Amino acid sequence: MVHNNGTGAARPLSRRFFLTATGIGALTAGLAACGGTSTSGSSPSSPAPTSGGGGGFPLTMEGAEGKTVLTARPQRVVTVGFMRDLDEAVSLGVNPVATTPASNFDSGIPPWVEAKLGGAKIEQLEFEDKLPFEKIVALTPDLILATDSYTLADDFANLTALAPTLSYEKDVAEDTWQTRATRVGKALGKSDEAEKAVKAVTAKIEEAKTKNQAALAGKTFTFSLLNGEGAIATVILPTDASAQLLAHLGLKLSDKVTKLPQAGPAGRAVVATENTDLLDADIVMFSFRNAEERAKVEGDRLFQNLPAVKRGAYVALEVETALSMAFPSTLSIPYALDKIVPLLVQAAGKA
């Protein structure tokens, strides 16, 4: 099964740094600690059905930041996590009354969530430095989902004073996507549906692996990006969420990078330009936030001379596709598989 990054790095920044080595930076600006996007029209939560789903209310759930006590099935849900609280609620058919915006996306909503919403709108809570507690209380929520919040250690007391708040189980950087889906499902009274969603996504991963085993099995890869200073930062830990998804498809993180010393955020190493050759593998992957970054990397002579790049075994990913791997959920993983697997198979054919 695919797991989140289990690096055990100091909380709360380890996972938020997937696509930037110096903090929130250009990619994740507007998320947990800084500004939001435009507000969409609001709509009430779609409540969980009263039959099936393993209700079990009243309910008390333990979490790393504190308990969540629910006297009845939630009807008005607000999500304040990075992306995955919203993912899992919508996956289970519960549209929150409001959510903090995902500013990596123009609409404020990840495309895999938009597809599931089918045109329905969710109010987005604009904020700059701190969560908009006044706006949240005005919505009268009966559950706040915060399993994907990187500032929950600071915010839990304030949030739980407004409404029961669901924390991550162990750590935002350690809980697996299966754990998050299961916790959210239980809090919403939809445990059965959550279990089915986890099984369905696991089956989809296994199906993709089996179908493409001949092309992908045993192929090595590297996966890199440019950090906030414009330097190359590459994944070095097999426990990274993206690396785990790729491993479950049969790929293997290159030994050239797993031996590098960690620098900057957990699970990454900064590679000096003169050492670009360390990125070479059967398949070279690179994620870009914009066209300027891509032009910079692809225009570099040392990058152009990588054997994998020369033979066409190079996969360039847009940021939304990279995020669907980096922050896995029952909605984002199928999106990632649909977008990435064909590119990997094509590149593997030139390995």
The C-alpha atoms of residue 26 and residue 221 are separated, in whole angstroms, by 26
Q: In the prediction, which pLDDT does 35 show?
A: 27
Q: Please report which confidence band the pLDDT of residue 28 belongs to, taking 50, 70 and 90 as the band edges.
A: very low
The C-alpha atoms of residue 7 and residue 19 are separated, in whole angstroms, by 16
The C-alpha atoms of residue 303 and residue 310 are separated, in whole angstroms, by 9
pLDDT tens digit string along 274-324?
Answer: 999 999 999 999 999 999 999 999 999 999 999 999 999 999 999 999 999
Q: In the prediction, which pLDDT does 19 show?
A: 40
Local structure of residue 289 (DSSP, 8 states): S
Local structure of residue 274 (DSSP, 8 states): G
Q: HSE-up of 184 (CA within 13 Å, CB side)?
A: 36
Percent of the chain with pLDDT over 90: 76
Q: In the prediction, which pLDDT does 99 show?
A: 98
pLDDT tens digit string along 228-250?
Answer: 899 999 999 998 999 999 999 99
Q: Where are the alpha helices (DSSP H) in the chain?
A: 25-28, 84-91, 111-117, 133-138, 152-162, 177-187, 191-211, 213-216, 241-248, 255-258, 291-298, 301-304, 307-310, 319-326, 332-348
Residue pointed to by tokens 């990125």: 279
pLDDT tens digit string along 90-125?
Answer: 999 999 999 999 988 989 999 999 999 999 999 999
∠ CA 233-234-237, nearest 5°, is 130
Say whether pLDDT at 29 is over 70: no
Query: What is the pLDDT averaged over residues 49-58?
Result: 57
Query: What is the pLDDT averaged over residues 323-351?
Result: 96
Q: In the prediction, which pLDDT does 194 show?
A: 98
Percent of the chain with pLDDT over 70: 83
The C-alpha atoms of residue 165 and residue 167 are separated, in whole angstroms, by 6
Say whether pLDDT at 216 is over 60: yes
Give every CB contact of residue 51 below 8 A, 6+ residues apart in sequence.
Answer: none
pLDDT tens digit string along 128-162?
Answer: 889 999 999 999 999 999 999 999 999 999 999 99
Dihedral sign computed on CA atoms, order 162, 166, 44, 333: positive
Query: What is the pLDDT averaged over residues 194-209?
Result: 98
Question: Taking the model in full, what pTM does it have?
Answer: 0.83
Domain 31-203 fold is Rossmann fold (3.40.50)
Q: In the prediction, which pLDDT does 322 show?
A: 94
Higher pLDDT, 286 or 4: 286
Say whether pLDDT at 191 is over 90: yes
Asked if 31-203 and 212-348 have one fold, the answer is yes
Say whether pLDDT at 23 is over 50: no
Say whether pLDDT at 264 is over 90: no
Query: What is the pLDDT averaged over residues 24-36?
Result: 30
Q: Where are the alpha helices (DSSP H) in 24-126?
A: 25-28, 84-91, 111-117
The per-residue b/e assignment along 202-229, b for 16 or more CB within 10 angstroms, e otherwise, is: beebeebbeebeebbeebbbbbbbbbbe
- φ/ψ of residue 152, rounded to 5: -65, -30
Mean confidence (pLDDT) of the chain: 86
Say whether pLDDT at 45 is over 80: no
The C-alpha atoms of residue 77 and residue 89 are separated, in whole angstroms, by 9
The CATH number of 212-348 is 3.40.50.1980
Q: Please report which confidence band the pLDDT of residue 351 belongs to, taking 50, 70 and 90 as the band edges.
A: confident
- For the chain, what are the domain ranges? 31-203, 212-348
